[in-house]
């Protein structure tokens, strides 16, 4: 490049000294701004090319750091930047770079450098400064004990509200909303409050996070029905299996399924089947509600409970409400590998839309291991919910609101969730923001 410039200057001097015509000096002088413009274009083009490579390196480094997400994420981002920028054969530059993490899973990076010029020096411009920036966001794997999907709502909509004076004791898990949440200053031992929108009044808030996909909706493809138009209310007292036309027992894929045609009312105390079943089983409530009778304390083990129907009837979980009434339901899920309902305690068919919003009064006591999926239901509770025994519980609802002195006691450990086969979304998604 410098040799070319020297050749051009030598040619201009020779042209200027040429006495053959008066036009020669004028033409030589006219060439100076032309060549300066050409030189400037070369310098700016070179600087822009370096800037483009620097932007690519910064984007790559920031994505790597955001995906790492741990305490050394800056080192990961910086090392990836250096590897990619040096690989672009740009040498002799001093690069300043910086990485910061903002509230939530938002990561920012900047980089700048001073590029020496080849031609602009004749205009007393010896360097050009280039700078780039990038922002990335990441969502960590989901380990929430309470997740609200809030489908179809904007991020600003509050889907999870802890009102009143709830007692929140979460171990190994978080609360999470695909829109916004509001703890109203009552979040107990909450580990994290993760939201795609805002996280008002919450300890350890992580607003602006990515949404979690609904990985449980496809389970509905495993639902079969047996009742047709038959419908009524089946009373099932713990410890006995009723003989009734409203209860149809079938075998599907080698597992017993108990299809209840209409409402299922649970009564009495103890294990529903009298003992813990040897093999997994399933209760399918068709076109009806799951009702816990007053003073009932029923435990369902190694069985999933599924609510389905044709959308002509309500599909609710009803606890006693008011006047000192109370009832307790404890659920433990199927455990066999290969069973599509493994790790699922309660499941509301996502196609249901009629009368599916639940309100649980102060007399409600709901304990569950595994997944409680009410993905299209808005749940308001004045009662208590908790893990059962296996230390792995996940409540998934459309919206969730607590009132009064609700107690939420949930536990999760990776080992316990693996033992009962409860699945969670484990992906880490990162992407650049414009």
Please state the domain extents for the chain: 2-139, 144-428
User: What separation in angstroms does the CA of 229 have from each of 232, 235, 257, 286, 289?
Assistant: 10, 19, 18, 10, 16
What pLDDT does residue 184 have?
82
pLDDT tens-place string over residues 2-14: 454 465 556 555 6
Could you tell me if 63 and 100 are in contact, meaning their C-beta atoms sit under 8 angstroms apart? no
Q: What is the pTM of this model?
A: 0.75
Bridge partners, residue 134, by sequence: 109
d(CA 383, CA 407): 7
Could you tell me if 205 and 103 are in contact, meaning their C-beta atoms sit under 8 angstroms apart? yes
Q: What angle do CA 229, 358, 350 make, to 5 degrees?
A: 55
Q: What angle do CA 301, 306, 311 make, to 5 degrees?
A: 160
Q: Which residues of the chain have pLDDT under 50?
A: 1-2, 4-5, 27-31
Q: Which two tokens stand for residue 242?
A: 């009723």
Q: Which of 130, 68, 125, 129 lies closest to 99 in space, CA to CA?
A: 68
What pLDDT does residue 106 have?
80
User: What separation in angstroms does the CA of 157 have from each of 151, 154, 177, 197, 250?
Assistant: 10, 6, 10, 8, 43
What pLDDT does residue 157 have?
97
What pLDDT does residue 127 have?
86
d(CA 246, CA 258): 10
User: What separation in angstroms does the CA of 298 have from each of 238, 270, 301, 392?
Assistant: 6, 5, 10, 20
pLDDT tens-place string over residues 13-26: 565 565 555 555 55
What pLDDT does residue 30 have?
46
- State the distance between the two ends of the chain, measured CA to CA, in whole angstroms: 37
d(CA 161, CA 183): 6
d(CA 163, CA 233): 34
Could you tell me if 182 and 160 are in contact, meaning their C-beta atoms sit under 8 angstroms apart? yes
Q: Which of 386, 380, 379, 384 lies closest to 405 in space, CA to CA?
A: 384
Q: How many CB atoms lie within 10 A of CB 10?
A: 10
- CA-based R_g, the chain, Å: 33
Give the list of residues 6+ apart from residue 325 with CB closer than 8 angstroms, or none: 294, 295, 361, 363
d(CA 118, CA 236): 89
């Amino acid at each position: 490049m410098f040799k070319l410039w020297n050749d051009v200057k030598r040619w201009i001097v020779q042209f200027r000294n040429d006495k053959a015509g008066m036009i020669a000096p004028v033409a030589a002088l006219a060439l100076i701004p032309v060549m300066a413009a050409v030189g400037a274009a070369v310098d700016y083009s070179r600087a822009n090319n370096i800037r483009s490579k620097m932007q690519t390196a910064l984007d790559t480094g920031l994505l790597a750091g955001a995906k790492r997400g741990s305490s050394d994420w800056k080192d990961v981002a910086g090392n990836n930047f250096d590897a990619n920028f040096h690989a672009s054969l740009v040498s002799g530059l001093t690069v300043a770079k910086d990485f910061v993490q903002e509230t939530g899973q938002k990561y920012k990076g900047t980089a700048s450098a001073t590029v020496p010029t080849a031609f602009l020096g004749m205009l007393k411009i010896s360097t050009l400064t280039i700078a780039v920036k990038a922002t990335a966001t990441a969502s960590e794997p989901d380990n929430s004990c309470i997740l609200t999907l809030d489908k179809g709502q904007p991020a600003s909509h509050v889907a999870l509200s802890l009102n009143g004076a709830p007692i929140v004791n979460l171990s190994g898990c978080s609360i999470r909303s695909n829109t916004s949440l509001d703890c109203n200053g009552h979040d107990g031992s909450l580990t994290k409050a993760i939201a795609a929108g805002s996280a008002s009044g919450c300890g350890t808030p992580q607003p602006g996070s990515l949404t979690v996909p609904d990985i449980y909706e496809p389970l509905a493809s495993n639902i079969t029905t047996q009742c047709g138009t038959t419908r009524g209310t089946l009373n099932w007292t713990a410890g006995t299996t009723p003989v009734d036309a409203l209860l149809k027992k079938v075998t599907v894929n080698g597992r017993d399924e108990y299809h209840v045609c209409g409402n299922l009312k649970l009564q009495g105390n103890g294990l529903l089947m009298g003992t813990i079943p040897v093999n997994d089983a399933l209760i399918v409530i068709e076109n009806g509600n799951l009702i816990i009778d007053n003073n009932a304390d029923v435990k369902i083990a190694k069985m999933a409970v599924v609510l389905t129907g044709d959308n002509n009837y309500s599909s609710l979980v009803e606890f006693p409400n008011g006047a000192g009434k109370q009832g307790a339901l404890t659920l433990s899920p199927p455990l066999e590998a290969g069973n599509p309902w493994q790790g699922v305690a309660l499941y509301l068919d996502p196609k249901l839309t009629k009368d599916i919003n639940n309100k649980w009064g102060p007399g409600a006591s709901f304990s569950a291991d595994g997944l409680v999926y009410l993905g299209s239901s808005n749940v308001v509770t004045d009662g208590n919910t908790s893990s059962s025994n296996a230390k792995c519980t996940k409540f998934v609802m459309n919206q969730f609101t607590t009132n009064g002195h609700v107690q939420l006691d949930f536990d999760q450990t990776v080992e316990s969730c693996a033992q009962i086969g409860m699945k969670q979304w484990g992906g880490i998604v990162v992407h650049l923001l414009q």
